[in-house]
Amino acid sequence: MAAHLGFNARCSINLDFSLSGYNRHSFWHLISGQNVVGKFQPNANNIHHPALRLLHKWLACSLFSRDDTHLVLDLELKMLKKIKVAPVYEIVKHWLHYFKTATPILCTSLITRLVASVNPQAANSIVYLTSPRIMINERYLAQAHVIKRNASVNGFVFYFPRYINEISLRNPDLSLYTCPSLTFELVKKEEARRSSASRRESRRMRQEEAAQCWAFLTSLPKVDLVF
């Protein structure tokens, strides 16, 4: 079934077996910088690295489709750790869960791929749904506050709401396999404003001290020197 869904033959099917030694808390700290204890619900907005953030968006919209893509499921967190995997069992379990509920069934184009691979003749009679669906494009990522256009770099930047950090895209230096760290030193906008105000205050104080020093020197009585 993994081959029918388009997964590479080298991908591992057993996700838990391929993730021996995996620790949920330590991996979340690795990609978000957050120290968590006990039960917690990861939020995708706290993932720093652009590739991992966008990869999760794709997982939440394509393999495990749902309306709320901000929350990171435990399965998706494991897949961010082990990218080369074919989670066939988990996908089928996800579909069965929706079949048992009264909510809309969100199977995306994987069903079409599966039918076309198993029975190419049946693919000709497939009736495609025309209702609106989630598409990960520029508009979607802009509304999700993930990317925005930047005229100064003539392209897109990946940014963090409430922080001043911006990352130009594309960025070869942020390759997942060569990047020295999966997190960045984020600077809040309030801290940046305070830092800027502090620098202005220091500059004003230096200027006032210089003016006072000059006023003192010019107020001294003149002394004629005779040689």
- For residue 135, the model assigns a pLDDT of 74
pTM check: above 0.85: no
- For residue 223, the model assigns a pLDDT of 43
For residue 128, being part of any structural domain is answered with yes
Phi and psi torsions of 195, nearest 5°: -65, -40
Distance CA 164, CA 195 (A): 12
For residue 158, being part of any structural domain is answered with yes
The domain total for the chain is: 1
- For residue 215, the model assigns a pLDDT of 62
Which domain range does residue 22 map to? 15-174
What does each of the 227 residues of the chain score in pLDDT, given as a tens digit? 777 777 777 777 777 788 878 899 999 999 999 998 889 999 998 999 998 998 898 888 878 877 788 899 988 998 898 777 888 888 888 777 777 766 665 666 677 777 777 777 766 666 666 666 667 788 888 888 888 888 777 788 898 888 888 888 888 888 887 888 899 888 888 765 555 555 666 666 777 666 666 565 456 455 443 43
Count of positions (residues) in the chain: 227
For residue 26, being part of any structural domain is answered with yes
For residue 3, being part of any structural domain is answered with no
CB under 8 A, 24+ apart: contacts of 184-189: 184/48, 186/33, 186/48, 186/160, 187/163, 188/162, 188/163, 188/164, 189/162, 189/163, 189/164
- For residue 122, the model assigns a pLDDT of 67
What secondary structure does DSSP assign to 89-155, as a single string? HHHHHHHHHHHTSSSPP--TTHHHHHHHHH-HHHHTT-----S-----SHHHHHHTTSEEEETTTTE
- For residue 191, the model assigns a pLDDT of 61
For residue 179, being part of any structural domain is answered with no
For residue 89, being part of any structural domain is answered with yes
The first and second tokens of residue 76, run together, are 């998706």
